[in-house]
């Protein structure tokens, strides 16, 4: 039977379509499947820890008493990191996108991307050998002059390996991610908006304030949330830098611990139900990260209409 | 998004770095030389798991053993003492290493895999734990158990405290604040050190022995032996406990034993193992013992760490039995102990203990 080239190629195209759409769907569902498997595994491994006799667990307290302090520690470290990193990252991104000369901007952007590629163990080593000793004098000063604030209650740590130091290291680590994403968003500000602002007599700062920032707000939020995700899950740097201990309010004394670092530090020598407790801690971290991402999505979705992007 | 991809790369790298450091090996895992040692050569692959304290020594042993027996290979993974004991009992591995010997229940449970005589313990690794400090101009100090416990419990807070001065006449002690640095990871070193404190100074150290530092006495902490040593080296007035082979450059305390003070030496640790109390009710070839932390015998260094090798008394086939025997005999021999001392800084077992270990391992047979 004779056939023409058009229908032939058409049927081949349909086959291609089918294969491609199937492949894409498999790839897409694979992600969900992996996520599902991780969740099932964590839940299954966690259950013995939740019902275990407190005497068998670390410190002789029930799992919930133990994990509470770790959750607080994780959130404190991430909060310090975000508070320090966000303003700097947005500033650097703005400088690269709107202030720096073109050539300098390219170089700077490249260097910021490079920072994101440094393994966390390097940041940890730097934090413990350079940053922590250097921060001891400021901590002593803080304890003497601002000791009435619970966050800075003395005596200051003699090693400098405190929650604040860990937060600073985390801030340095998440800054590149937040910077790169914010920069991309700032560069997408419609040129017409910027020019309109300038034409109305706005200074450059006013232009950034009325045209760039409102447009970029959801983007900044998602950039910050990605940074937060990394800060919550960061393990090695915290394990090296933080002098962990029981939960305390002071940020300049040793103490507190994060979930991820606790898992890494206790896992190699744990056995039995103590291992289950670590998996349960992992499950909690999993849930926190998931919640953070969902909140971020919600914020982005809520602000979309007002961003000026449409 | 390029930045994201880079972030993921960084994440993968950090996981890899974590995995590497978690192993704590000396990175000396190159291919083994194919040297053949004719006569007694055994072949096959042995798998073992357990304590990370012997990690560095196991790497060295596995290399030397494979070099001497072409076709033989030893794979040891550091999963912790508890995992080692259950691994052997469940028959998942051929041998295990553990900072604690098998309990009576575990011995009974091991009969299913290891035959009617069950598994048995043999000391394979002994190492002194030094109490090390950073105090300008002071290289050694004499301390007794109560003073050490008070320091680590935070009850003595300055170096010129009367309790320390009374034990060190003629030494000028500064009024520097004491900063205690302990491990923040779970470790056999911590377990042995807190065992010493709990037994030798029970009135001050009111916590039980534990691989995790007790929260009641929390102070500064750092990750791993290198972490605590490094932190102490950088902090004036700091004190810690660490494997004695790793505390070079720091001041070292001599510990009061009887009427004398003993320094953390290889001989002291080996003697502690020799004078240890044998566990009662064990088979003749089971060399399980408890170190006597409160020993009065001169020359004993009571803050020592012992790791036991755990073997089955019978194996399913001749090849495995021969391989386990050959490897067990090698690591407890004078030669094997020297290799561990050179690579991991442990204290060689005394000739007597080494001989007893060899006799015990020689009883391994086929089911």
Cβ–Cβ contact B194 with A under 8 A: no
Q: Which of A12-16, A183-187, A225-229 has the lowest mean pLDDT?
A: A12-16
Residue-wise pLDDT tens digits, B274-294? 989 898 888 888 999 999 999
Kindly state whether residue B314 falls inside one of the protein's structural domains: yes
Contact: A158, B235; criterion CB under 8 Å: yes
The number of folded domains in chain B is 2
Give the distance between the most distant pair of CA atoms in chain B. 70
Does residue A216 have a pLDDT over 70? yes
Is B142 in the same domain as B168? yes
Cβ–Cβ contact A60 with B under 8 A: no
Does residue A174 have a pLDDT over 90? yes
Kindly state whether residue B311 falls inside one of the protein's structural domains: yes
Kindly state whether residue B299 falls inside one of the protein's structural domains: no
Is B117 in the same domain as B166? no
- Find the CB nearest B78 among A116, A128, A268: A268
The CATH number of the domain where B337 resides is what? 3.40.190.10
Kindly state whether residue B195 falls inside one of the protein's structural domains: yes
- Alpha carbon of B123 to those of A307, B77, B285, B287: distances in Å? 70, 18, 12, 7
Residues of B in contact with A113 (CB under 8 A): 2-3, 6
What is the ipTM score, two decimals?
0.76
Give the residues of chain B that fall short of pLDDT 50: 1-4, 6-7, 9-39
What does the radius of gyration of chain A's CA atoms come to, in whole angstroms?
25
Is B100 in the same domain as B154? no
Q: Are the C-beta atoms of A49 and A263 separated by less than 8 Å? A: no
Contact: B52, A269; criterion CB under 8 Å: yes
Report domain A62-306's class: mainly alpha
- Find the CB nearest A271 among B9, B82, B187: B82
Cβ–Cβ contact A129 with B under 8 A: yes
Is B45 in the same domain as B100? yes
**What pTM, to 2 d.p., does this model score?**
0.80
* Chain mean pLDDT for chain A: 87
Is B310 in the same domain as B236? no
Contact: A243, B221; criterion CB under 8 Å: yes
Is B160 in the same domain as B66? no
Kindly state whether residue B85 falls inside one of the protein's structural domains: yes
- A238 vs A121: CA distance, rounded Å: 9
Helix (H) and strand (E) counts for chain B?
12, 15
The chain A residue lying nearest B84, using CA atoms, is A271
- A86 vs A82: CA distance, rounded Å: 6
Is B7 in the same domain as B100? yes
Contact: A254, B220; criterion CB under 8 Å: yes
**CB contact residues (below 8 A), chain B span 138-167, against chain A:** none
Is B211 in the same domain as B118? no
Q: Are the C-beta atoms of B238 and B200 separated by less than 8 Å? A: no
**pLDDT at A272 (0 to 100):** 79
Cβ–Cβ contact B92 with A under 8 A: no
> How close does chain B come to A204, measured CA to CA in Å?
27
Contact: A265, B81; criterion CB under 8 Å: no
Is B10 in the same domain as B83? yes
Is B256 in the same domain as B280? no
Could you state, in order of their start, the residue ranges of all structural domains in chain A?
Answer: 13-51, 62-306
The chain A residue lying nearest B223, using CA atoms, is A240
**CB contact residues (below 8 A), chain B span 280-339, against chain A:** none
Helix (H) and strand (E) counts for chain A?
12, 0
Strand B314-315 and strand B365-366: pairing? parallel
Local confidence band at A270 (pLDDT 50, 70, 90 cut-offs): confident
Cβ–Cβ contact B224 with A under 8 A: no
Query: Which structural domain, as residue segments, surrounds residue B13?
Result: 2-127+276-291+305-366
Is B234 in the same domain as B133? yes
């Amino acid at each position: 039977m004779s056939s023409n080239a058009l229908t032939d190629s058409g049927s081949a195209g349909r086959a291609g379509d089918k294969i491609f759409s199937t492949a894409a769907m498999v790839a897409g569902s694979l992600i969900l499947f992996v996520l599902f498997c991780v969740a099932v595994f964590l839940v299954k491994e966690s259950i013995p820890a939740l019902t275990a006799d407190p005497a068998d667990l670390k410190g002789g307290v029930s799992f919930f008493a133990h994990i509470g302090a770790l959750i607080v520690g994780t959130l404190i470290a991430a909060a310090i990191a975000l508070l320090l990193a966000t303003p700097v990252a947005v500033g650097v991104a703005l400088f690269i996108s709107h202030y720096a000369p073109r050539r300098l901007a390219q170089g700077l952007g490249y260097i910021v991307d490079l920072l994101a590629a440094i393994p966390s163990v390097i940041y940890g080593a730097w934090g413990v050998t350079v940053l922590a000793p250097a921060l001891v004098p400021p901590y002593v000063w803080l304890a003497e002059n601002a000791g009435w604030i619970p966050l800075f209650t003395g005596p200051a740590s003699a090693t400098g390996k405190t929650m604040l130091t860990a937060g600073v290291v985390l801030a340095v680590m998440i800054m590149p991610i937040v910077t790169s994403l914010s920069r991309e968003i700032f560069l997408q500000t419609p040129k017409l908006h910027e020019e309109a602002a300038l034409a109305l007599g706005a200074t450059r700062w006013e232009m950034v304030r009325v045209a760039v920032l409102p447009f970029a707000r959801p983007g900044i939020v998602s950039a910050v949330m990605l940074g937060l995700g990394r800060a919550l899950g960061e393990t090695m740097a915290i394990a090296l830098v933080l002098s962990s201990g029981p939960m305390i309010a002071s940020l300049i004394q040793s103490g507190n611990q994060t979930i991820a670092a606790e898992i890494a530090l206790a896992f190699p020598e744990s056995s039995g139900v103590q291992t289950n407790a670590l998996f349960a801690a992992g499950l909690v971290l999993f849930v926190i990260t998931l919640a953070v991402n969902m909140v971020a999505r919600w914020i982005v979705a809520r602000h979309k209409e007002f961003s000026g992007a449409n | 998004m390029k930045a994201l991809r880079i972030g993921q790369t960084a994440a993968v790298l950090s996981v890899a770095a974590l995995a590497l450091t978690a192993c704590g090996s000396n990175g000396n895992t190159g291919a083994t030389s194919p040297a053949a040692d004719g006569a007694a050569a055994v072949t096959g692959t042995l798998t073992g798991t357990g304590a990370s304290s012997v990690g560095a020594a196991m790497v060295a042993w596995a290399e030397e053993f494979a070099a001497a027996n072409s076709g033989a290979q030893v794979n040891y993974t550091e999963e912790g003492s508890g995992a080692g004991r259950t691994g052997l009992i469940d028959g998942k591995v051929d041998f295990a290493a553990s900072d604690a010997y098998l309990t009576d229940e575990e011995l009974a449970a091991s009969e299913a895999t290891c035959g009617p005589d069950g598994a048995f313990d043999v000391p394979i690794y002994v190492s002194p734990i030094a109490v090390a400090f950073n105090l300008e101009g002071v290289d050694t100090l004499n301390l007794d158990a109560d003073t050490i416990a008070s320091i680590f419990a935070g009850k003595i807070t300055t170096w010129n405290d009367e309790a320390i001065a009374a034990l060190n006449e003629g030494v000028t002690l500064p009024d520097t604040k004491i900063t205690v640095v302990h491990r923040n990871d779970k470790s056999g070193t911590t377990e042995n050190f807190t065992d010493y404190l709990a037994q030798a100074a029970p009135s001050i150290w009111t916590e039980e022995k534990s691989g995790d530092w007790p929260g009641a006495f929390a102070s500064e902490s750092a990750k791993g032996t290198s972490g605590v040593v490094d932190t102490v080296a950088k902090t004036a007035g700091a004190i810690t406990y660490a494997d004695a082979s790793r505390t070079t450059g720091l001041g070292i305390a001599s510990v009061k034993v009887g009427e004398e003070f003993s320094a953390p030496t290889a001989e002291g640790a080996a003697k502690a193992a020799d004078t240890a109390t044998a566990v009662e009710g064990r088979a003749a070839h089971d060399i399980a013992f408890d170190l006597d932390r409160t020993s009065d015998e001169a020359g004993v260094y009571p803050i020592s760490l012992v790791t036991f090798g755990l073997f089955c008394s019978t194996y399913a086939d001749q090849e495995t039995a021969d391989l386990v025997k050959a490897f067990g005999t090698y690591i407890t021999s004078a030669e094997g102990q020297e290799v561990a001392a050179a690579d991991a800084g442990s204290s060689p077992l005394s000739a007597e203990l080494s001989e007893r270990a060899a006799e015990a391992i020689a009883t391994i047979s086929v089911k």
